[in-house]
Amino acid sequence: MTNRLTEVLSKKDLNKDDIIFLLGLNLQNQEILFKKAYEIKDKYVGRKTYFRGLIELSNICNKDCLYCGIRHSNKDTKRYNLTDDEVLRAVKYALDKRWSSIVIQAGELTNSTFTNRITSLIKKIKSFSSNPPGITLSLGEQSEEIFQEWFDAGAHRYLLRIESSTKSLYEQIHPKNELHSFENRLENLNRLQKLDYQTGTGVMIGLPSQTLEHLADDLIFMRDFDIDMCGMGPYIEHKDTPLYQYKNLLIPIEDRFRLSLKMIAILRIMMKDINIASSTALQTIHTHGRELALMAGANVIMPNITPVKYHENYALYKGKPTISEETDEYVQDLERHIHAAGDTVGYGVWGDPVHYFTRKAK
């Protein structure tokens, strides 16, 4: 091990130079970083992986993010909306498996038909079982009133990625208008934290013209914001999006994968007791990519339990898996790989981020 690596890994706080150094580690030294991150995970949150059943409620979206396959202007995507029954069936599946938490994700809408429906759906899910699941929402930017209404209905976690914490890069990957403003995104994250949600954010890794310095700033942003949860993963180009024209500027997909694992490991070292999700995008690159991330410090996996016939229409990026993750065979295989990574599955508990409670106790 190099002297610098030993020194950096033994520091109490990492500065920006340290983070850039760690992001640049070669194949051999990155293993040392992952080992350190796994030790920290073991010590602070335990060698447990929590499942959240991911329900992709709808791909109808008002936004036009330049990287995303379900952006409003992509007329090649067939739009869908699950029925309440389909949602409840998926919830039942998760509960039967004792996963105990679900994530509801959808394209971004703010009209009252949509927001009222979410409120009623949260209530239905909460009253559906005597042992209701923890509910995470991933439904984009909303007013304070709506965030509050959903919280009161029973949702207690929210994921809203900052995508990039560097304003200029954020603006390169979003249209330049009020609907896609960087300041609004920040404001929304603040709102969520203020309303007492367990607040999660994240970024895409390997965007065109993104540097290690940008990524280091992203990690520092997460630390400064004091997030409870993070979900981040590689950017994967989608041919029906404007950002696709820059595909020649991208680093190889394998490098985006490795960089994502390093981001996870460094974040684990910086924020020891948060929950870190192993993103679906990692699985797109390697069948067992999500399990590799567990060994680098992640502790949450979100198996997709959306009815399989809708999967092809929720293609945020190229090659997003369209397999069913709700067959017994699949789940057993996933569990085998989780065990091989050194973890066990946290069944029957919500698996809230420890950090939320230590942050509140401060």
How many beta carbons lie within 10 A of that of residue 251, not counting itself? Answer: 16
| 316 is a site residue for ligand 5AD (CB under 6 A) | yes
- CA torsion sign, 323 to 329 to 333 to 339? positive
Smallest gap from residue 55 Cβ to ligand 5AD (A): 13
Taking CB under 6 A as the criterion, the residue among 91, 106, 204, 292 binding ligand 5AD is: 204
Angle of helix 253-270 versus helix 16-23 axis, rounded to 10: 140
Smallest gap from residue 9 Cβ to ligand 5AD (A): 29
One-letter amino acid at 111 equals N
Are 357 and 62 in contact by the 8 Å Cβ rule? The answer is no
Taking CB under 6 A as the criterion, the residue among 38, 99, 197, 317 binding ligand 5AD is: 317
Any idea which residue has 């900052």 for tokens?
Answer: 162
Smallest gap from residue 159 Cβ to ligand 5AD (A): 8
- The contacts of residue 336 (CB under 8 Å, 6+ apart) are none
When the beta carbons of 72 and 161 are compared against ligand 5AD, the nearer one is 161
Within positions 137 to 176, which residues make up the interface with ligand 5AD, using CB under 6 A? 161, 163
The structure tokens listed for 272 are 């020891």
Taking CB under 6 A as the criterion, the residue among 68, 265, 270, 277 binding ligand 5AD is: 68
Distance CA 52, CA 99 (A): 6
Are 354 and 45 in contact by the 8 Å Cβ rule? The answer is yes
What are the phi and psi torsion angles at 257 (to 5°)? Answer: -65, -50
| 256 is a site residue for ligand 5AD (CB under 6 A) | no
* Region near ligand 5AD per CB under 6 A, out of 13-21, 231-239, 256-264, 325-333: 231-239
What's the distance, CA 347 to chain centroid? 20
Are 298 and 277 in contact by the 8 Å Cβ rule? The answer is yes
Smallest gap from residue 314 Cβ to ligand 5AD (A): 10
Are 273 and 45 in contact by the 8 Å Cβ rule? The answer is yes
Radius of gyration, alpha carbons of the chain: 19
* Region near ligand 5AD per CB under 6 A, out of 86-94, 169-177, 233-241, 290-298: 233-241
Residues in the interface with ligand 5AD (CB under 6 A) total 11
- CA torsion sign, 41 to 45 to 49 to 55? negative
| 277 is a site residue for ligand 5AD (CB under 6 A) | no
Distance CA 153, CA 323 (A): 32
When the beta carbons of 14 and 241 are compared against ligand 5AD, the nearer one is 241
Quick one: 6 exposed, middle or buried, by C-beta within 10 A (0-12, 13-18, 19+)?
exposed
Distance CA 197, CA 147 (A): 9
When the beta carbons of 115 and 164 are compared against ligand 5AD, the nearer one is 164
| 235 is a site residue for ligand 5AD (CB under 6 A) | yes
When the beta carbons of 208 and 353 are compared against ligand 5AD, the nearer one is 208
When the beta carbons of 197 and 235 are compared against ligand 5AD, the nearer one is 235
When the beta carbons of 198 and 260 are compared against ligand 5AD, the nearer one is 260
Taking CB under 6 A as the criterion, the residue among 45, 102, 229, 236 binding ligand 5AD is: 236
When the beta carbons of 66 and 294 are compared against ligand 5AD, the nearer one is 66
CA angle 97, 100, 103 (to 5 degrees): 105
| 238 is a site residue for ligand 5AD (CB under 6 A) | yes
Question: Residues 9-48: x/- map of binding to ligand 5AD (CB under 6 A)?
Answer: ----------------------------------------
* Region near ligand 5AD per CB under 6 A, out of 15-23, 75-83, 142-150, 234-242: 234-242
* Region near ligand 5AD per CB under 6 A, out of 20-28, 232-240, 323-331, 348-356: 232-240
The structure tokens listed for 152 are 């009161």
When the beta carbons of 78 and 360 are compared against ligand 5AD, the nearer one is 78
Q: Of the candidates 203, 226, 223, 228, which has an alpha carbon nearest to the alpha carbon of residue 215?
A: 203
| Residues of the shown chain interacting with ligand 5AD in the complex, contacts defined by CB under 6 A | 67-68, 161, 163, 204, 235-236, 238, 281, 316-317
